[in-house]
Amino acid sequence: MGQPNPVAVLDKAVAILRAVSAEPASLAELVARTELPRATAHRLATALEAHRLLRRTDTGTWAPGPALAELGRGGVDLGDLAGRHLAVLRDATGESAQFYVRDGGSRVCIAVAERASGLRDTVPLGARLPLTAGSAAHVLLAFSPAEEVTALLPAASFTARTLLDVRRRGWAHSVAEREAGVASLSAPVRDGAGGVLGAVSISGPVERLGRRPSPEVVSAVLDAAVALSRAAR
């Protein structure tokens, strides 16, 4: 059996990107628009999603991903953009700030601004954490397709009701889910079409953040999410 033609594979991947350029597409719609076999369309769409060239919408369809916008901005990386806004958020709240993107069943920290001194929650750049605990996981799952949420909820430290609350109020809060004594607060960062690019977060000791975050801290996180959403468009 011969090796796949890399040029032909590239042509098929480009066909998929073109197919979602005007309107998001389900797998069935991808097949109809590209005339590719179902298995091929699914395999390439999943690979493009892993490289952030495609993303899933709230309804589970595929749409153009954030990496395309980053390339269009001359290669400005979403992590670099996030880092600038996280520094402002850290200074406003006095807590360590992070930005997470989803990668399959995990969330990856692609930007961080650490608290300079004192007790802090340190999340290393590049850290891969589960989608089953923590406020950033709440945010990333709250706007994911229902079947993916259903698959992860049995192992999660939160419930479907938690995710409904996140969608309703636009932010998430967790206490001691990922690590004992640590609280966190997160909000979604969105692209121009309303899709979720990632989650901006702060984390620190429960003694400082509290079991119920103050309105000032919530506002600071939401402001950072809005500012980063605008910068990422």
pLDDT digits 0-9 by tens, 153-188: 999 999 999 999 999 999 999 999 988 899 999 999
DSSP string for residues in 81-142? HHHHHHHHHHHHHSSEEEEEEEETTEEEEEEEE--SSSS-----TT-EEETTSSHHHHHHHH
Give the largest CA-CA distance in the chain: 63
Alpha carbon 23 to its chain centroid, in Å, reads: 21
CB neighbour list of residue 54: distance below 8 Å, 6 or more residues apart:
16, 17, 20, 45, 48, 62, 63, 64, 65
The domain locations on the chain are 6-64, 78-231
Please determine whether the domains at 6-64 and 78-231 fall in the same fold group of CATH: no
CATH code assigned to 6-64: 1.10.10.10
Tell me the pTM. 0.72
Amino acid in the structure at residue 80? D
6-59 confidence digits (pLDDT tens): 678 899 999 999 999 888 899 999 999 999 999 999 999 988 987 878 888 767
- Per-residue pLDDT at 140: 94
Q: In what order do the strands lie in the sheet with 96-103?
A: 128-130, 106-113, 96-103, 196-205, 182-190, 172-175
Cα separation of 164 and 217, whole Å?
Answer: 21
Is 74 exposed, middle or buried (CB count within 10 Å of its CB: 0-12, 13-18, 19+)? exposed
* Per-residue pLDDT at 79 exceeds 60: yes
- Per-residue pLDDT at 122: 74
88-147 confidence digits (pLDDT tens): 999 999 999 999 988 778 898 999 998 876 655 678 888 889 999 999 999 999 988 888
Fold category of 78-231 in CATH: Beta-Lactamase (3.30.450)
Which is more confidently placed, 193 or 106?
Answer: 106
How many other C-beta atoms lie within 10 A of the C-beta of residue 123?
A: 23
Q: Which of 148, 213, 215, 221 is nearest to 189 (CA)?
A: 221
58 φ/ψ angles, rounded to the nearest 5 degrees: -60, -25
- Per-residue pLDDT at 200: 97
- Per-residue pLDDT at 1: 45
